[in-house]
């Protein structure tokens, strides 16, 4: 048999497997759409128990993945993301219980009104349908994402990184057993049964109309590929180039606390600030104290010529710095011409994610909030408040920077859509 | 010069023109996003006056288009859609005044809440950005769609059918003059300045990220092409295969009135019913009176074998009939096994548009409303109530059957998206 024939057989096998997954997901989505909240919560509770009970099995599966990753000379950060221990496994189970405790968005009446002819119109939350999750090395995404999709009444098709395959499969067993225990369709959470990359391509094409949305979970190269190639909607952000603008009307102490927190609380999250913009009319007052505080917090400051002229500790920034998501203890600093200068800078270099203004003047703040075209805009608060938990939405599957449907935190409600239910008493249209 | 060189020059010219349109639209979208409601309404009023004043010019431009269309042997229905007279022009102007009278969705606070740490979160309606409208022969779309996009704070890029080019250009002059009069950016409504089809392809690619959404307005082939080829979100419906299901618990008089109205009030609209589903347990009682009423209303009835066995006037339906949007005085009829049989039929053959159940039993009706996955589901009312005006939303740009963002009528609110505005007093994240 020629190599080409082998390849064809392999891709036919993958296509067949994906087709079976798609068919099962479509049926599961129908079943889940009308599943009672109590059954979904029962399944989540059972999943959590199963995961705790299977701790040893999951660790054994994880050891296999870790051995492969080490053999492949993966870097330490990769190994860390991949590694599960009893503590992390317990946290994963607790995460499922947290999701069980969240309100079920399905069936919620968003708005309703009556028409003069007596028709009663309701806009009701319904699940989206089938959600594809494409992720990299963090095996806990299997549980988190699967559970969020299920609780919101959707079927999930998960495709994890090939090097987390064994671990994800062991977790999936616990999830599907939980679905069984609650009498729900176990195909509500499925995993692509092969590490072959061709499966990703098929998912990005939508599996013949079965996948309604793709959620990528991973680094910039994964998200970029998904955004470029997907033929179905994607909920994602490519990067979080978040800004803090300090207006001349700002309280300096507040501005300092916010700038340091926005950058340094955690440097590796998408809501970490990457650029500090300072109002030119207050640069002489603000640049040095802000730089002091950042350097004290062990942050490197790279600024434009105007800021360097004020404070020689500031290193030189290039054009590249304005578009760099450092995800590290480095911040770029630019002097801008008031709030409109900040708005222009963010429009040119920002990523429509999260941006904050520090200002005492309410009109200036409102101008910033209205004109910065980002999913989340803040006044006098740290950009690191950008996640679903901090918004009070509970667990989230990610942050989206697209224009439509889901902007900002993608939590349970954002994993649903709506339909109009209209009730009449025999109305016909004149 | 070779033909290839001519072609290359021509496509470079089109690419240059589209690039200029894109740049102007991006700026106009920023300007419009923060334009006061009063200015937008002033522009709409001026547009209406300009159109009325330019009636003769518009009719003269329309005469040129009609001459081309006749020379191209276009069918009568095409000529009718293309033709403008003083009455239609006046109606177009009135339509703009209607849009001026509608509430401005921009800036509306959809929901707001406070966090325990004192952060105040608001979800605020904002324009989407730049909307591409691709339409066929109806030149009034220039005014309707342009005005709806503008009122909702968006910039519109219009691309009409080549045979309505002169008429659309004459209307566009009136719209842009109205924008000028209100001090708004005239690039808020632009038209592709060439009938060349390459421009459509560029729009479907999104003009390098400038176009946020495409709205196709036209027949199934246009919508199908846009849905297949667009790399940006599309608000549209491919077809309206709407169903009326008559449950055994239905009041027969009500069912008859609704079935006849849903099919025959206007047969050419997307909300017209195409298939009548009758509960098997009431078929003996219901088939003949419903067929009577439909035939009396001059509707051809094509049914399955079971219905033909009850009433010999029913012609024979084939599998093809269940997926045919007749848009004509023809209805298909099928006996189904109760409400679940209806739900299954609609899941298999429907178009996720608008479906209605006639039933006295509330539980049965609720089951239908919950399980039929269509943008609009009705109980005891005609499917022809499916439009934005009947929903009380005012003018609409179309009906969408996609899962996300806009489902059902796409009116002013659906032409906006949202962002989160968060106001604090110096909060930093612990």
Q: Which helix (H) or strand (E) holds A67?
A: helix A55-71
Q: Quick count: other Cβ atoms within 10 Å of Cβ B54?
A: 19
Sign of CA dihedral B349, B350, B356, B360: positive
In eight-state DSSP terms, residue A317 is P
List C-alpha distances in Å: A80 to A70, A83, B308: 11, 5, 69
Q: What is the pLDDT of residue B196?
A: 80
Q: What is the pLDDT of residue B329?
A: 97
DSSP string, B92-139: HHHHHHHHHHSPP-TT-EEEEEE-TTS-EEEEEEEE--EEEEEE-S-T
> What does the alpha-carbon distance between residue B226 and residue B228 come to, in Å, rounded to a whole number?
5
Contact A413, A128 (CB under 8 A): no
Contact B317, B303 (CB under 8 A): yes
> What does the alpha-carbon distance between residue B352 and residue B242 come to, in Å, rounded to a whole number?
8
Q: How confident is the model at residue A28 (pLDDT cuts 50, 70, 90)?
A: very high
Q: Test A370 with B34 for CB contact under 8 angstroms.
A: yes
> What does the alpha-carbon distance between residue B388 and residue B177 come to, in Å, rounded to a whole number?
28
Please name the residue ranges forming H helices in B197-276.
198-204, 220-229, 252-264
Q: What is the pLDDT of residue B152?
A: 98
Residues of B in contact with A392 (CB under 8 A): 113, 115, 121
Whether the predicted interface score ipTM is above 0.90:
yes
pTM of the model: 0.94
Q: Test B375 with A129 for CB contact under 8 angstroms.
A: no
> What does the alpha-carbon distance between residue B152 and residue B40 come to, in Å, rounded to a whole number?
9
List C-alpha distances in Å: A98 to A101, A151, A152, B276: 5, 11, 14, 46
Sole residue written with tokens 């479509």 = A26
CA distance A218 to chain B (A): 23
Q: Test A426 with B369 for CB contact under 8 angstroms.
A: no
> What does the alpha-carbon distance between residue B45 and residue B96 come to, in Å, rounded to a whole number?
7
Q: Which residue of B has its CA nearest to A417?
A: B404
Note the pLDDT tens digit of each residue in B204-238.
999 999 999 999 998 899 999 999 999 999 999 99
Contact B149, B415 (CB under 8 A): yes
Q: Test A119 with B257 for CB contact under 8 angstroms.
A: no
From the list A265, A377, A419, which residue is nearest B421 (CB)? A377
Name the average pLDDT for chain A: 95
The phi and psi torsions of B31 (rounded to 5 degrees) equal -65, -45
Q: How far apart are the first and last CA of chain B?
A: 70
> What does the alpha-carbon distance between residue A217 and residue A172 come to, in Å, rounded to a whole number?
17
Q: What is the pLDDT of residue B4?
A: 44
Q: What is the pLDDT of residue B7?
A: 59
Contact B264, B348 (CB under 8 A): no
Sign of CA dihedral A221, A127, B129, A277: negative
CA distance A241 to chain B (A): 17
> What does the alpha-carbon distance between residue A295 and residue A11 come to, in Å, rounded to a whole number?
55
Note the pLDDT tens digit of each residue in A264-295.
999 999 999 999 999 999 999 999 999 999 99
Residues in chain B, pLDDT under 70: 1-8
Q: Residue A215, CB half-sphere, CA atoms under 13 Å: how many?
A: 29
From the list A381, A405, A426, which residue is nearest B119 (CB)? A381
Note the pLDDT tens digit of each residue in A103-114.
999 999 999 999
User: How are beta strands A416-427 and A120-127 bridged, if at all?
Assistant: antiparallel
Note the pLDDT tens digit of each residue in B33-87.
999 999 999 999 999 999 999 999 999 999 999 999 999 999 998 999 999 999 9
Contact pairs from chain A to chain B, CB under 8 Å: 185
Note the pLDDT tens digit of each residue in A8-25.
677 788 899 999 999 999
Three-state DSSP state, A225: helix
Residues of B in contact with A417 (CB under 8 A): 403-404, 407
Q: What is the pLDDT of residue B2?
A: 41
Domains of chain A: 9-229 (3.40.605.10), 242-385 (3.40.309.10)
Contact B170, B58 (CB under 8 A): yes
From the list A34, A381, A418, which residue is nearest B422 (CB)? A381
Task: Inform me whether the pLDDT recorded for A243 exceeds 70.
Answer: yes
């Amino acid at each position: 048999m020629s190599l080409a024939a082998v390849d064809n057989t392999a891709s036919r096998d993958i296509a067949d497997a994906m087709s079976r997954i798609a068919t099962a997901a479509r049926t599961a989505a129908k079943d889940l759409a009308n599943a009672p909240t109590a059954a979904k919560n029962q399944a989540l509770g059972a999943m959590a128990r199963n995961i705790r009970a299977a701790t040893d099995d999951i660790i054994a599966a994880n050891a296999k993945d870790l051995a492969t990753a080490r053999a492949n000379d993966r870097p330490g950060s990769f190994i860390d993301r991949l590694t599960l221990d009893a503590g992390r496994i317990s946290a994963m189970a607790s995460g499922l219980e947290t999701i069980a405790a969240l309100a079920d968005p399905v069936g919620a009446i968003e708005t309703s009104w009556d028409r003069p002819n007596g028709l009663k119109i309701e806009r009701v939350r319904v699940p989206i349908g089938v959600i594809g999750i494409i992720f990299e090395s963090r095996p806990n995404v299997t549980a988190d994402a699967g559970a969020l999709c299920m609780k919101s009444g959707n079927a999930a098709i998960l495709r994890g990184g090939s090097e987390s395959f064994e671990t994800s499969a062991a977790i999936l067993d616990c999830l599907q057993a939980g679905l069984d225990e609650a009498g729900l369709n176990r195909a509500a959470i499925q995993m692509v049964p092969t590490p072959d990359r061709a499966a990703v391509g098929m998912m990005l094409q939508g599996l013949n109309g079965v996948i309604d949305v793709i959620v990528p979970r991973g680094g910039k190269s994964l998200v970029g590929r998904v955004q470029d190639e997907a033929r179905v909607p994607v909920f994602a952000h490519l990067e979080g180039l978040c800004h803090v603008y300090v207006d001349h009307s700002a309280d300096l102490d507040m501005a300092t606390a916010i700038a340091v927190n926005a950058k340094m609380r955690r440097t590796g999250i998408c809501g970490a600030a990457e650029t500090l913009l300072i109002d030119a009319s207050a640069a002489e007052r603000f640049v040095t104290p802000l730089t002091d505080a950042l350097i004290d917090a062990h942050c490197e400051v790279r600024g434009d010529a105007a800021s360097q002229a004020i404070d020689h500790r500031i290193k030189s920034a290039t054009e590249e710095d304005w578009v760099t998501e450092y995800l590290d203890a480095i911040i770029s600093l630019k002097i801008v011409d008031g709030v409109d200068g900040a708005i222009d800078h963010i429009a040119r270099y920002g990523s429509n994610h999260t941006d904050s203004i520090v200002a005492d003047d309410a009109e200036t703040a409102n101008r910033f909030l209205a004109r910065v075209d980002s999913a989340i805009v803040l006044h006098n608060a740290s950009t690191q408040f950008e996640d679903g938990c901090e918004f009070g939405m509970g667990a989230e599957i990610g942050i989206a920077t697209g224009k439509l449907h889901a902007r900002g935190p993608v939590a349970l409600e954002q994993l649903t859509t709506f339909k109009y239910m209209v009730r009449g008493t025999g109305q016909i249209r004149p």
